[in-house]
């Protein structure tokens, strides 16, 4: 794919026009530059997506937040799911779209070019909400609320410990103690929580949780996480 970098913008053939509110968005500029600079997308699905898609799921689409050129979205679409991917980088979305077209899956995927600080999903809609390699604690409550009854949420991000390996990681981009499980609203059951220590790349934490099959009337309450422990993508 031919990617042209000019001024603020990076033009990717076939991609949507950049909305005015995103032209100077710093995450967009940084990630576009990274994806345009000789990045080779593997399109491997994330292990969390593989696990979630192997479990019982209700009918409904999949939402992949901060998707990048996501192999997880391709896996879900190949399983016949409609998928919405959201990313601030149109270069990432362009790479994914090109691969989805190549695999005959593009009709199943909706590409949302948006800043997650502002974009919000409809509540109770998605059989699976997935987010790997990104953390923003203001996004998590809406993401959890977007999970359909009996659906799953899967999240993986850097922990505060990762800042030892990656001092440039901002404190707001890493999971605090017990997060994200501690931020789950009532009606979720934690299926798996795992700490993934990595001295080189930084420690990450992975969560998989299921929403009750019976929708809870109050989505506002936050409950502490259950049991012992077994990165915004920056
Ligand atoms: C580390 S990558 C993770 C990509 C993919 N989820 C994965 O696991 O490989 C982080 C992604 O977050 C996206 N991102 C960063 N800030 C964002 C924002 N404010 N809104 C939407 N996407 C954002 C980047 O463009 C990038 O694709």
Determine how β-strand 188-196 pairs with β-strand 126-132.
Answer: unpaired
Residue 110 has pLDDT above 80, yes or no: yes
**Cα 17 → chain centroid:** 22
Q: Mind listing the pLDDT tens digit for each residue in 89-102?
A: 999 999 999 999 99
Q: Mind listing the pLDDT tens digit for each residue in 15-54?
A: 568 999 999 999 999 999 999 988 999 999 999 999 999 9
pTM: 0.89
Ligand 1 center to residue 154 CA distance, Å? 15
Ligand 1 center to residue 218 CA distance, Å? 30
Atom 27 of ligand 1, residue of closest alpha carbon: 68
Identify the band that residue 214 occupies on the pLDDT scale cut at 50, 70 and 90: confident
Task: Name the β-bridge partners of 111.
Answer: 85
Rounded to whole angstroms, the Cα distance separating 13 from 176 reads 39
Identify the band that residue 142 occupies on the pLDDT scale cut at 50, 70 and 90: very high
Ligand 1 center to residue 175 CA distance, Å? 16
Edge-to-edge order in the sheet of strand 188-196? 109-113, 83-87, 62-65, 126-132, 147-158, 204-211, 188-196
Ligand 1 center to residue 135 CA distance, Å? 9
| 210 HSE (CA, 13 A, CB side) | 13
Asked whether 121 lines ligand 1 (CB < 6 A), one says: no
Ligand 1 center to residue 35 CA distance, Å? 11
> What one-character DSSP code corresponds to residue 54?
H
Can you tell me which atom of ligand 1 is nearest the CA of 156? Answer: 8
Q: What are phi and psi of 10, to 5 degrees?
A: -120, 120
Which structural domains are found in the chain, ordered by start? 4-211 (3.40.50.150)
Asked whether 70 lines ligand 1 (CB < 6 A), one says: yes
Atom 13 of ligand 1, residue of closest alpha carbon: 66
Most informative mutation of 25, 68, 128, 166 for ligand 1 (most atoms within 8 A of CB) = 68
Chain-wide mean pLDDT for the chain? 89
> What one-character DSSP code corresponds to residue 121?
P
């Amino acid at each position: 794919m031919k990617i042209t970098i000019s001024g603020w913008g990076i033009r990717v053939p076939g991609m949507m026009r950049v909305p005015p509110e995103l032209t100077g968005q710093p995450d967009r500029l940084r990630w576009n530059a990274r994806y345009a600079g000789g990045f080779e997308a593997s399109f491997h699905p994330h292990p969390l997506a593989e696990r979630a898609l192997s479990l019982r799921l209700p009918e409904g689409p999949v939402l992949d937040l901060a998707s990048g050129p996501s192999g997880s979205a391709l896996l879900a679409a190949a399983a016949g799911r409609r998928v919405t991917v959201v990313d601030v980088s149109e270069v990432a979305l362009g790479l994914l779209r090109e691969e989805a077209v190549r695999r005959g899956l593009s009709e199943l995927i909706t590409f949302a070019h948006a800043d997650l600080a502002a974009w919000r999903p409809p509540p109770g809609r998605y059989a699976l909400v997935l987010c790997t390699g990104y953390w923003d604690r203001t996004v998590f409550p809406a993401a959890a609320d977007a999970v359909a009854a009996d659906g799953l949420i899967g999240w993986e991000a850097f922990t505060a410990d990762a800042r030892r390996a990656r001092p440039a990681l901002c404190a707001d981009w890493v999971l605090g103690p017990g997060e994200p499980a501690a931020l789950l609203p009532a009606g979720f059951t934690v299926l798996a929580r795992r700490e993934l220590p990595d001295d080189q790349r930084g420690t990450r934490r992975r969560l998989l949780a299921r929403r009750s099959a019976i929708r809870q009337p109050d989505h506002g309450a936050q409950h502490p996480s259950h049991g012992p422990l077994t990165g915004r993508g920056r």
